[in-house]
Amino acid sequence: MSLVVTNLSKKYGDKTVVDHISFSLEHPGVYAFLGTNGAGKSTSLRMMLGMLAKDSGTVTWKGAPLDTMETNVGYLAEERGLYPKFTLMDQLMYFASLKNVSKEDAKKRIDYWVERLELTEYFHPPVVGKKKPKPMTADQLSKGNQQKVQLLAALISDPELLILDEPLSGLDPVNMDLFKQVIHEQVDAGKYIIMSSHQMEVVEEFCEDITILHHGKAVVQGNLNEIKKSYGRVNMFVKTEEPIDDVIEASGLRVINKTPNGIQLRVNGQEQADQFLDMLLTGKGSVEPTRKTIVRFELREPSLHEIFVEKAGENVEDEAQ
């Protein structure tokens, strides 16, 4: 195993912000850290990196305690940070030197990533007139472009372990796709990535293993497919040409969501879904006992979003009680 986190805990006064979290990264890929705001994602990541003292727990990398001075780690912080008044090139060269990247390699890597992340015009501003353009500083960039420069900083040492804290938040769809491509490339290159996010569909796209945190506790943890399988195929989507409210009422099923694209229903398994399908086909339970025209009928496992909402919601309810 490469990264092993055991019993990680942190308290601020009487409040426990991270409560005995354990997980491991066994092979290259993306491990997701999910949770509501204040769930303890960033705190956990900071403790893993050793920049925040932990109350208990261990973090090891390849069998030895993880020390970012000794291990090539890339980090994209949630609260983005660049020197506002220093030129982009100066600060990236500085970051590279702190990561023990040689000057030549740093220049090559910066050139590569500047082009890859479509930042050329900011690093090499076009010459207008006779005056040589001044190198740009961080405060002259938009938030999205600053985020790209920070991703560049995280990747500049070609890290073996990459920790990305909310890497896609605040990005427009074009740049979000660009970031996703870069993350895919890193996975293909055999990198270990830990990513925290609010965007469930993005996590589903990348991650095999997840931890859902709620108030510092791991409420769901493990392989995403296995977690979904454990729930069973309980989400049913139905779209018909005729109204079927009376059929749903007669079946006793719970409506989760109703949209122009159809109705989402919760069933307790394949048998209940089959019974409902039979009712639609025969018109059983309907005011007009005729066969309904089915446009869409889908039975699937719950999405990560649904699991997340359910788990976070359950805990909120538990606390209310």
- Binding residues for another protein, rule: CB under 8 A, are 46, 48-54, 58-59, 65-70, 73-75, 77, 79-86, 90, 94-95, 97-99, 150, 153-154
95-124 in b/e form (b: 16+ CB < 10 A) is bbeebebeeeebeebbeebbebbebeebbe
Q: Which two tokens stand for residue 263?
A: 């109705």
- Tell the smallest beta-carbon distance from residue 110 to another protein (Å): 16
- Tell the smallest beta-carbon distance from residue 83 to another protein (Å): 6
Which CB, 74 or 302, lies closer to another protein? Answer: 74
Q: Which of 259, 187, 161 is nearest to 30 (CA)?
A: 187
Which CB, 153 or 219, lies closer to another protein? Answer: 153
- Tell the smallest beta-carbon distance from residue 49 to another protein (Å): 6
Q: Which of 192, 197, 191 is nearest to 211 (CA)?
A: 197
Span between the terminal Cα atoms of the chain, in Å: 40
Which CB, 54 or 191, lies closer to another protein? Answer: 54
Going by the DSSP 8-state scheme, the letter that residue 279 receives in this structure is H
- Tell the smallest beta-carbon distance from residue 123 to another protein (Å): 18
197-206 in b/e form (b: 16+ CB < 10 A) is bebbebbeeb
Count of CB atoms situated within 10 Å of the CB of 319: 9
SS3 content of the chain, % helix, strand, coil (to 5): 40, 30, 35
Indicate the residue type of 194.
I
- Tell the smallest beta-carbon distance from residue 51 to another protein (Å): 4
Which CB, 104 or 271, lies closer to another protein? Answer: 104
Which CB, 68 or 251, lies closer to another protein? Answer: 68
Which CB, 67 or 274, lies closer to another protein? Answer: 67
- Tell the smallest beta-carbon distance from residue 315 to another protein (Å): 26
Task: Give the C-alpha separation, 11 to 276, whole Å.
Answer: 50
